[in-house]
Structures are given as C-alpha cells and as structure tokens.
Amino acid sequence: MIHLQRVTKRFGSAGEALSNVSLRVDPGAMAFITGPSGAGKSTLLRLIAGLERPTRGRIRVNGHDLDRLSNRAIPGFRRSIGLVFQDHRLLFDRPVFDNVALPLEILAYRRPEMRKRVRAALDKVGLLHKETVNPRTLSAGEQQRVGIARAIVHRPVLLLADEPTGNLDPALSREILQLFDDFNRVGMTALIASHDLGLVERMGKPVLHLEDGRVEARAAGEGTA
C-alpha cells in the first residue's frame, strides 16, 4: 500500500526534514510512526498524502508513483486517502454534517446517498445527534471525532492520521485509537503518527520510530509493517 525507498525531503536551507527514509506498509495493515516533535512525522505523512513532493527517493502509494504523479492526477489520488489532523481542521462556517459531507461533495455524490454515508460515519464516531450543530460548540474530543468521520466518510483505502490524540486526555486518546483499529479491521490501511509512545505500544502494532528525520525501526523491524 505504502512503499518509500530512500526518501529525502529538504525544505530550502532549513536542512533535511527526512533523510533516506525507507518504509513499507502492506495493504490492510495498521502501523504507527512515533518520535519527538520535529522528527519528521508530519512531513512523512504529507509526502505519503501527496501534499509535498520528495527531494529524492521514490514513493509509491496505492499503486501510484507519487514522484511521477502529474498535477492533474493528484486530486484523483487524494480521493483514495483519508487524512486526520491534530488540530482537526474543521470548517466553522458550516454544521457538522456539511463538514463530514465535504469529501462526498467533491466526489459528486447525490444527496440521498450522501446523507446515508454521512450519518453512518457520524454514527460510527458516536456523534449522530450532533449533525446539525456548529463544530465550534463541540469539545476537543468531539471535534477530533468529526475530523475522523470526515476522513473515513468516502471509505478511503488508506487512512493517515497526524497526532490525532495530540490534544486529548488518555481516555479519549484510547477511544480514538480504538476507532482507527475498528476501521483497520474492516480493511482500511492505517498509518498514524503519534508522540505518545506508551499509548502506541499498548496497541501492539508495528511502530516506525523517527528521530531527526531518520528511521529507527522498533517492534516491526526494518520499518516494515
């Protein structure tokens, strides 16, 4: 599903955010990326999502060679991915329902089907009763769950999450990771970045440890999941 070969990403003169990173995640797998902030976790996820291009190396995701993907083909590629952010990135000018429906709108779903899928996604994260409220009025945990519903509503083959539990207390964090585990059980490949080592280790999944833009593989060995 994800295959990185000696990927390096440099941002101008700021040095290398990632150096020579290789990584493989098989279809249907679930894996974690850990490391302190600034280790390059977000950069790695952004590269895999096609939001950044590598300076060197090859990235293959879901059958697409990202280093060779044309600008025109990028939107199509991104539709096969769901992304969850630490800061949720919800739109506060519209209710929860419309936030979750956004990927389906982009995919030009018709209203009845859209309604069905949005409600199913909200139900999955336990927020069906909040579909008409403005996300501004929700708690941090609820906002994160709306973000997750938005990331999975179009049933992506790959779910990427960047510090999804960053602002949450341990109980809520476990709950969120359990959600990812549930999605993974129904076939969604998941790659989750987190600095919370204890929490990650309790999940018993392969872990890729990043330090200063370099891989220090743990648990899974050789950065493979």
Partner 1 sequence: MKPARRMLDVVPAWLEAHRDAGRRSLQRRMQAPVLSLISIAVLGFILALPAYLWVLLDNARALSAHVDHDPRIALYLDGVEAATVADLERHLETDARVERWTWIDADDALATYREGMSDPGLLDWLDENPLPDVVDVVPATADPDTVAALREALAATAPDATVVSDDEWVRQLNSLHQLGLRILAVVGALLGLGALLILALATASELRERREEIAISRISGATHRFLRRPSLYGGLITGLGGGIFAGILLLIGIGLSRAPLEQAAAAFDLEFALGLPGASHLLTLLLAGLLLGWLGARLGSGHALRDAP
Task: Give the ranges where 11-110 is alpha helix by DSSP (H).
Answer: 41-48, 74-78, 96-106
The residue type found at 37 is S
Cβ distance to partner 1 smaller for residue 65 or 105: 105
How many residues of this chain bind partner 1 (CB under 8 A)? Answer: 29
87 near partner 1, rule: CB under 8 A: no
Q: In the complex, what is the shortest distance from the CB of residue 181 to partner 1, in angstroms, rounded to a whole number? A: 19
155 near partner 1, rule: CB under 8 A: yes
Close Cβ partners of 92 (under 8 Å, ≥ 6 residues apart):
134, 135, 136
User: Judged by CB under 8 A, which of 11, 68, 107, 139 binds partner 1?
Assistant: 107
Tokens representing residue 72 in the block: 């025109």
Q: Where are the beta strands (DSSP E) in 13-119?
A: 16-25, 30-34, 56-61, 64-65, 81-84
Site for partner 1 in 42-81 (CB under 8 A): 49, 51-52, 75-81
Tokens representing residue 93 in the block: 């000018």
136 near partner 1, rule: CB under 8 A: no
Enumerate binding residues for partner 1 (CB under 8 A): 49, 51-52, 75-81, 83, 89, 91, 93, 102-103, 105-111, 113, 150, 154-157
